[in-house]
Amino acid sequence: MAARTAASPRKTATRASARSTYASACPGAAATAASQAASASTYRSRIRSRYARKTSESGSSGSTANPERIWRSASSYRPESASSRARWYACAADGRGSSDISTWCQPAGDRGENRLPALSAAFQGGRVLTPPDDLPEDLLRAALLRDWGLRVGSLEYRAVGRGSHHWEVTDAEGGRRFVSVDELTTKRLTLTDPLDAAYARLRAALGTARRLREHGRGFVVAPIPTSGGEPLVRVGDRFALALYPYVDGESFRWGAFSSAAHLRGVLDMVLAVHAAPAAARAHAPVDDFAIPHFDELELGLAGTGDVPDTGPYAGPAARLLVTHAAPVRRLLARHGELVRAARAQPGRMVLTHGEPHPGNTMRTVDGWRLIDWDTVRVAPPERDLWLMEPGDGSVLDGYAEATGAAPLAEMLELYRSWWHLADVAEETSRFRAPHAGTEDDDESFTILRSVLEHIGTLPAARV
């Protein structure tokens, strides 16, 4: 499939520290198998999940990763045992791509105390099922010819990503490329955020992917630059278009990594990204930890005033949010505490991918590839690590051994809470805007309901 656009006393102490911080980051990790399965069941209704969303350095006290050491270690790290590397639980895929995948944590035997909470490991695949009505193919063809000199023979829409629109392009000579189009309205951070600002953030992220590749990170599937050297172009007011090479290789579903080698390969790539030189990260966006569409989330939580008559889900979504307002507000308060802790440690910031889950990886004859770089940010390393950790501590241990910097419990919790809150805010924003009740809308309402139900089970959101 095409790319949509992978012992000394000190070391012993470092590994023990990583295990300890991880255990403290998972307050519900000692739950029984039955209670974890019950928590996970709230996500069995999540069909084609939205987790494909297309989302400084100064002195500090505390551990700081050594970039040169990361780079030297990236190709040599190996988790300590097959059993600890492979404790993943991914369930119920139909095998043909129209997924109804439920992934959740079960006790991990000898290291079950380190299990992730159910939702935090529950990544499930999704697709944008319908192309935008107001983006005709002739506009795409014109942009490809004007900015890349590409004469299009055929364009075929591919429903392969929940966050962006994708087309497979065949040129007049039979060569293949991949087009990714983002709706800039979905990249806004607030109601008043200009589309120009959303475009600038996306341009900075994709430009960083180009620079990473230029600095030796050959696993980065970066956009093909335009004739003017840009990573993408504007199409009309609402859309941004990027062109990618067609990558032959194996793609993967959301959820568990396919094997220990898969997880190891992705960790190696993440280590190399985190070790990026200053020149590669110079223009990268910096994570401000803000919840996108927080202004609309606040309006919805208040439950005052008339519900906007924007479509069939406006009323149900508004009532659902008000019903769950109390636990959401408690999680927001905890998130604020964690953000303050992160800002107190600016020296820990590295370049991060943002979503290094299996669905953003490919295996080719030349090795692993990491795709979908629109979420790249300078951020604490836990922004990538929480998403990769299977619950047995192997990723956190491996990262600590490779870098000398143990992942921090509070930062792992920060990014888990951010993802939950961002999902609620983005779906709230979706239904406060005009919508027609499409299949994508049906799915989004299911996601909103499931996430809200799960938030109510989190220790930070309970009274």
What is the CATH classification number for the domain harbouring 171? 3.30.200.20
* Nearest residue to 298 (alpha-carbon basis) of 191, 377, 204: 191
Query: Contacts for 29-36 with beta carbons within 8 Å, 24 or more apart?
Result: 29/112, 29/113, 29/114, 29/115, 29/116, 29/117, 29/391, 30/112, 30/113, 32/107, 33/106, 33/107, 36/104, 36/105, 36/106, 36/107, 36/115, 36/118
For residue 304, the model assigns a pLDDT of 76
Asked if residue 420 has pLDDT above 60, the reply is yes
Q: Best-predicted range by mean pLDDT among 49-53, 77-81, 266-270?
A: 266-270
For residue 361, the model assigns a pLDDT of 97
Residues 209, 318: one domain?
no
Report if residue 286 sits inside a domain.
Answer: yes
Q: Among 204, 225, 245, where does a domain finish? A: 245
Residues 160, 102: one domain?
no
Residues 344, 452: one domain?
yes
Residues 441, 400: one domain?
yes
* Nearest residue to 360 (alpha-carbon basis) of 371, 350, 351, 373: 371
How would residue 115 be classed by pLDDT, with cut points 50, 70 and 90?
very low
Report if residue 319 sits inside a domain.
Answer: yes
The tally of domains found in the chain comes to 2
Give the percent of the chain with pLDDT over 70. Answer: 71
Q: Best-predicted range by mean pLDDT among 5-19, 102-116, 260-274, 434-448?
A: 260-274
Q: Among 226, 245, 264, where does a domain finish? A: 245
Quote the mean pLDDT of the chain: 77
pLDDT, one tens digit per residue, over 436-454 is 999 889 999 999 999 999 9
Residues 147, 102: one domain?
no
For residue 161, the model assigns a pLDDT of 63
Residues 226, 77: one domain?
no
pLDDT, one tens digit per residue, over 29-76 is 333 233 333 333 333 233 233 333 333 323 333 333 333 333 333 333
* DSSP for residue 286: B
Minimum mean pLDDT among 121-135, 199-213, 417-431: which range?
A: 121-135
* Nearest residue to 403 (alpha-carbon basis) of 219, 273, 283: 273
Minimum mean pLDDT among 52-61, 377-386, 390-399, 422-431: which range?
A: 52-61
Q: Among 189, 212, 245, where does a domain finish? A: 245
Token pair in block for residue 129 = 């099922």
> Residue 300: CB partners within 8 Å, gap ≥ 6?
317, 318, 321, 322, 428, 432
Report if residue 130 sits inside a domain.
Answer: no
* Nearest residue to 36 (alpha-carbon basis) of 118, 112, 121, 122: 118
How would residue 129 be classed by pLDDT, with cut points 50, 70 and 90?
low
Residues 185, 96: one domain?
no
pLDDT, one tens digit per residue, over 343-365 is 999 999 999 999 999 999 999 99
For residue 162, the model assigns a pLDDT of 62
How would residue 186 be classed by pLDDT, with cut points 50, 70 and 90?
confident
For residue 401, the model assigns a pLDDT of 97
* Nearest residue to 329 (alpha-carbon basis) of 425, 401, 241, 201: 425
pLDDT, one tens digit per residue, over 301-311 is 998 777 889 99
Residues 237, 95: one domain?
no
Full domain range(s) for residue 403:
9-120+256-461
In the beta sheet, which residues pair with residue 220? 370
For residue 3, the model assigns a pLDDT of 45
Residues 151, 206: one domain?
yes
